[in-house]
Every structure is written in structure tokens, then in C-alpha cells.
Amino acid sequence: MPIELQQLNANRSALFYEIRCLLLYSTNFSLLRVTCCVQLHENTTGFPDKAFPRELHSIRSTTTGSSVLLTDFQPSFDQLRSTRPLVVVTGVTCVLDLIAFGLVDEGEYFLCPAPYFSSFLNDLYAKSRARTYDVDIRRDDGPGYQITLENLERAYNEAVLDGLKIKAILVANPNNPTGDILCEEEIRTVLDFAKRHAIHAVFDEIYGLSVHQDCYDFHSVCSIENPVPEMTHFMWGLSKDLGLSGFRCGVLHSKNSQLLKFLRRVSFFSAIPLFIQDWLTSLLKDTDWFEKEYFPKVHKQMEIQYGIATKRLEKLGVRIHKSGGGDFI
């Protein structure tokens, strides 16, 4: 092998190794979040000894705790102050699975602005046999992504011409994997598009409290004037913002009475263990600790880790897509 080629391969291997180390270094911050959330909280050091309620579905205090946490630390979640439209099950994966099971028939489609979380494919298909149809949202005027009415309509019309039935549009905000945060105009575009075609709009905002760059303003779909409130569904969970993925707690907010009735019946099979709910309730209601201890430390550390990783990658000649939310580079 020529010396030049050997050197090229060596440099390439070294670059890939350094990128891998940087990404692992950044990703391992999730472990820090778990430690911060579980071990530093002095008031929730064990499971309670008291008897638990006998009901098998989510206890009201868990939905109240989720509502309090979201509305206190992100003003755009203000609509969630009412817990009546909230349903709590074992994780956001379960929420999406149940939404698909309740809204979509086998072989029908969700529009998904791409790129999107690859597990959406399995979450929608495994039980409900629903599928995704990609929407190309790459900008025409340069690098990056933007949801526009034009690219939504283009994808929808192509799907219809292919004989496919679109029942909903699924959007992650902040986005996984790009870390992009939707502006108000993009959210309104999705809602107006859903109204025009009488389809459901599902928003995954599981990273809604993990915006680590001050230059980005996060807007939840709950903060936008909604032309189709009964066709709009919001998802959030504890696994990302709080690093508690093993506790399996996902929250759905919807004003669709038929969907809520359906979910409250089938959630019997996806109920969170009551002692977990009780522990989470005491954690979520301690907003003073979240305000003074948890979120300041988490957001600061995420900003530091993101800066370290991106600066080093740029120094190595790797082009970076700037992100503002979640653990994404």
C-alpha cells in the first residue's frame, strides 16, 4: 500500500476515533442528569411506606405534578395547567403507539418532516401497522431545514397520487436528530396544513425543557393559537429532560374527547406502577428544587458540553449543523 494512502487511512481512523470520543463524552451527560435528578434530591430518597391507591390507571397527582413542572419552567406550556386532558402511561413511545392505534388504520400514513427520530418507524408500525411518509424540508436557499406550506403540500400531493391515505402529521420539537427548534411560523404552518386537509397534528416535545442555547426561543404548540385544537395532540415525558428513562413516564395532552376516552380505557394495559407514580409525584411537585438546583445545572452543563464538542469537531474540519435543544450535534 502506498505511503500516502497509509497516512490517509491513519488520519481518517484517528479522526473517526476522536469524533466517537467527543460524541460519547457529550452523550454521557445523560448519566449526569440521572445522577443529578435522583441522588441530589434529598426529599425523595426512597419509596414511601404508605398504602397506595387501589386504582390501576394514572393517579391524578402524577398528571398534576407533570402539569406543574411543565408550566412553571416553560411559559409556552401554559395550556397544560388543566390536568383534565392529560393521560399518563409508560413512556412517550407508548403514547405514540396508542395514538397510532387509536387514530390510524392499518396501512395508513403519518407525514414526517425528515430527518426524524428513526424509532418513529417502529413505534407507529409494530402494533398499528401505520407507516411514515417523508417530507423533504431542506432549505432551498442554503444548508439547514425549514417546514413550509410548500414542502408539506408537495409531499401530501405525492402521497395521494400514489394512492396513500394520510391521517396525521408527526413533528418533533426540538427535533431529533438535528436539535432544531421550530419557530412560531413553522408551528402555525403545520396547524393550518392539518386543518386544510382534516388530518391530526401530533407534536413530540420530549426535549421541550432541554433548550441550552439562549439565542433560541422555544415555542410549544400549546402556546400557539390553534385552529384545530381537537385534532392536535402533545407528547412529553421524563426520559430526556429529567434523564429518567427507566421510570417510563409519558404524558399526552389532547382535547379530542373520543381519543381521550379510548386512551383511558386501553391505558389499563400501560399503567405506570403506583409506587413509581407516587415517587414521581413528590419529585415533580418540588418546583423550588428544579428552579434552584436541577435546571440551572443541567442547562449550564449542556451548554458547556455542546461548546466543547462542536469547537473540537470544527477544529478537525467537521462541518457542524447548529442545534439549540437536546443532546444533539
Q: Is the pLDDT of residue 162 over 90?
A: yes
CA quadruple 219, 220, 224, 228: dihedral positive or negative? positive
The mean of the pLDDT values for the chain is 80
The mean pLDDT value for 87-98 works out to: 92
Cell numbers for 87: 393521560
Q: How many angstroms separate the CA atoms of 175 and 205, rounded?
A: 8
SS3 label, residue 183: coil
Q: How many CA atoms lie within 13 A of 20 on its CB side?
A: 6
SS3 label, residue 175: coil
Cell numbers for 322: 447548529
Number of helices (H), then strands (E), in the chain: 11, 7
| Cross-strand pairs, 249 | none
Q: How many angstroms separate the CA atoms of 251 and 64, rounded?
A: 11
Cell numbers for 234: 402533545
Q: Is the pLDDT of residue 7 over 80?
A: no
- pLDDT at residue 56 in the model: 36
Are 259 and 233 within 8 A, CB to CB? yes
- Count the helix, strand and coil residues of the chain and give each as a percent rounded to the nearest 5: 50, 15, 35
Q: Is the pLDDT of residue 197 over 80?
A: yes
- Domains parsed from the chain with CATH numbers: 65-288 (3.40.640.10)
Q: Which residues, other chains included, contact 97 with Cβ-Cβ below 8 Å and sequence gap of 6+?
A: 123, 124, 126, 127, 128
CB count, 10 Å around CB of 117?
A: 16
* Cis preceding-peptide flag for 115 (omega within 30 of 0): yes
Q: Is the pLDDT of residue 53 over 80?
A: no
CB count, 10 Å around CB of 46?
A: 6
Q: How many angstroms separate the CA atoms of 190 and 65, rounded?
A: 29
Q: Which of 79, 76, 58 is nearest to 67 (CA)?
A: 79
Q: Which residues, other chains included, contact 296 with Cβ-Cβ below 8 Å and sequence gap of 6+?
A: none
User: pLDDT band at residue 171, thresholds of 50, 70 and 90?
Assistant: very high
- pLDDT at residue 58 in the model: 47
Are 276 and 257 within 8 A, CB to CB? no
Least confident of 82-91, 210-219, 222-231: 82-91
β-strands 86-89, 250-254 pairing: antiparallel
Are 102 and 259 within 8 A, CB to CB? yes
The mean pLDDT value for 315-328 works out to: 88
Residue range 102-148, pLDDT digits in tens: 999 999 999 999 999 999 999 999 999 999 999 999 998 878 899 99
- pLDDT at residue 311 in the model: 92
Q: Is the pLDDT of residue 86 over 90?
A: no
**What is the residue-wise DSSP string for 14-62?**
HHHHHHHHHHHHHHTHHHHHHHHHHHS-TT-SS---SPPPS-SS--HHH
Q: How many angstroms separate the CA atoms of 87 and 267, rounded?
A: 8
- pLDDT at residue 43 in the model: 46
User: pLDDT band at residue 48, thresholds of 50, 70 and 90?
Assistant: very low
